[in-house]
Amino acid sequence: MKKSIFYAALLAVTGVTANAQQGVNQGSTGPIDGRTAITSTEKLTTTGSQYITEQYMPAKISGSDQVQLLRYNAFNDYFEINNPQEGKPSMLPKQAGVKISFVNNGNEYTTAEYVDRDDNRTNGYLKVISETPKVKIYKRERIYLQPGKIGTNSYEASKPNTYKQAKDEYYIQIGDAPAQYFRRDKDLEKLMPNDDLGKEVRNYIKKNDIETDEEAGLKQLGAYLNTIL
């Protein structure tokens, strides 16, 4: 009788162990070693910012002396106006030739037509670096969304979607033509109306140690171009 009870208990324990092992082998979603498996229904969070500067700053919009609080959404390419009375911001309508001048730092933005590095013709906001009657130089500030990734197992952490600032792009507008993207002095040389002016510009850049991705040097270059074009 005692032997029968012993064998019955042994069989019961063996069955429970086998079922537990089978559950693990079949990919049980329960905790394993204190960790919880990540499921496909997990939602990724988003970090970073769509704005070059989060804070609203006092600025004037061309055609008005009124000072308003604005900030630039570089992900969606529009300016937001802070409206405390309404309790939420509003979007500034994008109009051709409009200028936004920030009071504190003197930064100025305008809408302009430009051809980007992928040869797409666009009308958007650009930061004004140099503005003369014959030539204008702009900077394009842009933020993009880097997709995240859901961990495929309990040991791989998920990565959030992240807003990141792209490398600044620079554009030059000669006369009334759309602004053109440039990166190096060779690019600027090719964008000049003729070869002689192109060589003169390239020599000027080298002689004055102008960096084509620095605002101070580009302001100097803009003033010079206005005298030879």
Give 126-143 pLDDT, tens digit per residue. 999 999 999 999 999 999
Q: Which residue, among 163, 161, 139, has the nearest Cα to 50 in the 3D structure? A: 163
- Which region among 5-19, 137-151, 187-201 has the lowest average model confidence (pLDDT)? 5-19
Q: Of all residues in the chain, what percent carry a pLDDT higher than 90?
A: 72
How far is 72 from 6, CA to CA, in rounded Å? 78
The mean pLDDT of the chain is 85
pLDDT-based confidence at 6, cuts 50/70/90? very low
pLDDT of residue 87: 78
Contacts of 36 (CB under 8 A, 6+ apart): 154
Question: Is the Cβ–Cβ distance between 69 and 59 less than 8 Å?
Answer: yes
Identify residue 156 by its one-letter amino acid code.
Answer: E
Residue 185 in 3-state DSSP?
helix
Residue 210 in 3-state DSSP?
coil
Q: Provide φ and ψ at 2, rounded to 5°.
A: -65, -40
How far is 56 from 68, CA to CA, in rounded Å? 9
* CA 214, chain centre distance (Å): 19
11-50 pLDDT, tens digit per residue, is 444 444 444 344 434 433 333 333 334 444 468 899 999 9
- Which region among 14-18, 87-91, 159-163, 176-180 has the lowest average model confidence (pLDDT)? 14-18
Q: Of all residues in the chain, what percent carry a pLDDT higher than 70?
A: 82
